[in-house]
Chains A and B, each alone.
Chain A
Amino acid sequence: KNQVEQSPQSLIILEGKNCTLQCNYTVSPFSNLRWYKQDTGRGPVSLTIMTFSENTKSNGRYTATLDADTKQSSLHITASQLSDSASYICVVTSYFSGGYNKLIFGAGTRLAVHP
């Protein structure tokens, strides 16, 4: 069964601290993995995308890693800011014929950054 599991469910950190969010998946065939940031009451916005051959990708203070062998990904946030408070969603894509991409969403990690 195709699944994406994220941990922790929620996390509280102090402003300026670092944190790491985890994503484990059992999706086949695997095409890519993407991390989204979703502010409360808004649609998700893509942070990074990683394909099978990529191990690390950075986007500012966000660094994503991918281990395709163990089917694990992490999102590391450096020097957190209050604006980082949001839900972070891990999404794994499988390609299907006909141009339709099947996306499997994790439940997300809700991050709260406190001053």
Chain B
Amino acid sequence: SQTIHQWPATLVQPVGSPLSLECTVEGTSNPNLYWYRQAAGRGLQLLFYSVGIGQISSEVPQNLSASRPQDRQFILSSKKLLLSDSGFYLCAFQRSGANVLTFGAGSRLTVL
């Protein structure tokens, strides 16, 4: 079965510090991978998606970046966090040919 792991679950970081959220998928090959941010009372906002190793597309300009160093690994990063980066971040994958997204448990980031 396919599973998705996302960590850390919670993170409190000072402004200006770096960020690394990691997501790994098991049980499938060449999945589409996604990073979303969810603000309170708002719909999920797509940040990045990837259809293959090293292929990253960004939906919105921002302070964040993403990388896919391996087929089933997706990393969300920042060199210097801003207060506005606080939020709930969700990683998701889509098995090739399927039309359903499976989400990770999420990572709550608080920037102080």
Contacts and interface: CB of A to CB of B under 8 A. Distances in A.
Nearest to B4: A43
Given A100-B49, A107-B43, A43 B105 contact: yes
A103 B101 contact: yes
A66 interface: no
Interface residues of B, number: 25
B90 to A, nearest CB: 5
Interface of B: 6, 32, 41-46, 49, 51, 57, 88, 90, 92, 94, 96, 99-106, 108
Interface residues of A, number: 25
Contacts of B46: 103
Binding site secondary structure of chain B: strand
B112 to A, nearest CB: 19
19 contacts: A9-B41, A43-B103, A43-B104, A43-B106, A44-B44, A44-B103, A46-B100, A46-B101, A49-B99, A89-B44, A98-B51, A99-B51, A99-B96, A100-B51, A100-B57, A101-B32, A104-B43, A107-B43, A108-B43
